[in-house]
Amino acid sequence: MQLGIIGLPNSGKTTVFNALTGSNYETSGVSGGKLAINTAVVNVPDVRVDKLSAIFQPKKTTYPTITYVDIGGLEKGVGEEGLPGPLRNALSPVDGFIHVIRAFADDTVPHPQVTIDPQRDLEIVDTEFLLTDLITVENRLSRLTEEVQKKGKKAAGRSAEEEIELLTRLKDHLEEDSPLRNLNLDEEEKTFLKGFGLLTLKPQVIVVNTEVPVDDPTQFVTVEHQNTILLALPAQIESEIAQLDEADRQIFMDEYGIAEPGANRVIRASYDLMSIQTFFTVGEDEVRGWSVSIGATAPEAAGVIHSDLQRGFIRAECITYEDFIAYGSMTKAKTEGKVRLEGKQYLVRDGDIMNIRFSV
């Protein structure tokens, strides 16, 4: 799973990137005509992995991960004629966005719009993405309509008619200044549209970058869009926390009255945003959390581990994390009938501990 960190210049998005990843990059953007991009993989904090690891004492403990990509180059007006190729290529492949909105004042870091107005800044980037998606949809719709007119409806086929109908619905929605994430699309339509790289269709976490910790980000920004999570983060403080060792980090957090790094909340929100859940495999060699889509079947989860496990799937031994912790061992849980054998139609649940039986 890959999320792009976006925002206007001097919004602090690279600082947010550093806070989330423990990196120490300078501000990214466009230098010498080349788009600057930073990438890092981070663990998703999960106390269940910690507890399972403490029980099994494995040689290796592995957490689910998220890849964050810090993408520069966004500014007002960039989408009016369609995004530049390098920027579009950086934005299109990501699964969702961390959209950083500036809510701090700093005379040494001038705002490109001069004043600090988080709601305005949010709408600027939303508008650029809306324009970009509208250009994409209109261009495809124009080409497809022309093709149908040349070949005739019958020759073009049912799929062309269905695509025109879908694209027309998208175009009408975008022209109402509403992002596509607000449009109710079925799974088949979403799958079909993945290749279009539509930016407003991607879910997003909006991170209001504040000077100090803030409990209520709605004092800065009002958001009514679907598939959107709103959080506040004092990015500069959090990036400093991320650079410290464990002992100094706790002292720093105590000084600011921070219960846990706010970056952890953003990472967990990123995970939740993508409708992802975690299942576990356990043993003396490794305790590992695996990411799988909500609604995935047991064979699909097995395929996340290895394609051979999905291909040769027979059964999955499953127990809930809660039951395992309650009984303290797999042997006792089996004796109490808490370990289940599930087949190919089983839908994996968050927190399942699984052992895959397979034959290839």
Between 77-81, 279-283, 330-334, the lowest mean confidence (pLDDT) is in 77-81
pLDDT score of 335: 93
The pLDDT score that the predictor gives to residue 31 is 42
Task: Say if residue 153's pLDDT is above 70.
Answer: no
CATH level 2 (architecture), domain 295-358: Roll (3.10)
Say what the pLDDT of residue 97 is.
Answer: 95
What are the strands of the beta sheet with 276-281, ordered from one edge?
Answer: 60-62, 286-293, 276-281, 352-358, 313-320, 340-342
Q: What distance in Å separates the CA atoms of residue 47 and residue 206, rounded to the nearest whole number? A: 25
Between CA 11 and CA 20 the distance in angstroms is: 15
**Quick check: 182 pLDDT over 90?**
yes
**Burial tier of 261 (Cβ tally within 10 Å: 0-12, 13-18, 19+):** buried
Task: Please determine, for residue 155, whether its predicted confidence score (pLDDT) is greater than 50.
Answer: no
> Which of 3-7, 21-25, 105-109 shows the highest mean pLDDT?
3-7
Residue pair 76/112 in contact by the 8 Å Cβ criterion: yes
Q: Residues of the chain with pLDDT > 70: what percent?
A: 94
Which DSSP letter does residue 347 get?
A: B
Place of tokens 């590992």: 288
155 or 275, higher pLDDT: 275
| Ramachandran sector of residue 59 (left: φ over 0; alpha: ψ -120 to 50; beta: rest) | alpha
Cα 199 to Cα 59: distance, rounded to the nearest angstrom: 42
* Nearest Cα residue to 81 out of 33, 131, 138: 131
Amino acid 27: pLDDT = 63
Alpha-carbon distance of 61 to 276, in angstroms, equals: 20
Domain boundaries, the chain: 295-358
Pair type for strands 30-31 and 34-35:
antiparallel
Structure tokens of 234?
């004092």
Pairing of strands 60-62, 286-293: parallel
pLDDT attached to residue 33:
45
pLDDT tens digit sequence for 300-327: 999 999 999 999 999 999 999 999 999 9
From CA 94, how far away is CA 321, in angstroms rounded? 31
pLDDT classification of 145: cutoffs 50, 70, 90: confident
Q: Could you give the CA distance from residue 272 to residue 210 in angstroms, rounded to a whole number?
A: 23
pLDDT, tens digit, for every residue of 18-51?
A: 999 988 887 654 444 457 789 999 998 899 999 9
Phi, psi angle pair for 207, to nearest 5°: -110, 110
Averaged pLDDT of the chain: 89
CB 205 within 8 A of CB 98: yes
DSSP assignment of 46-104: -HHHHHHHHHH--SEEE--EEEEEEE----TTTTTT---HHHHHHHTT-SEEEEEEE--
**Does the pLDDT value for residue 57 go beyond 70?**
yes
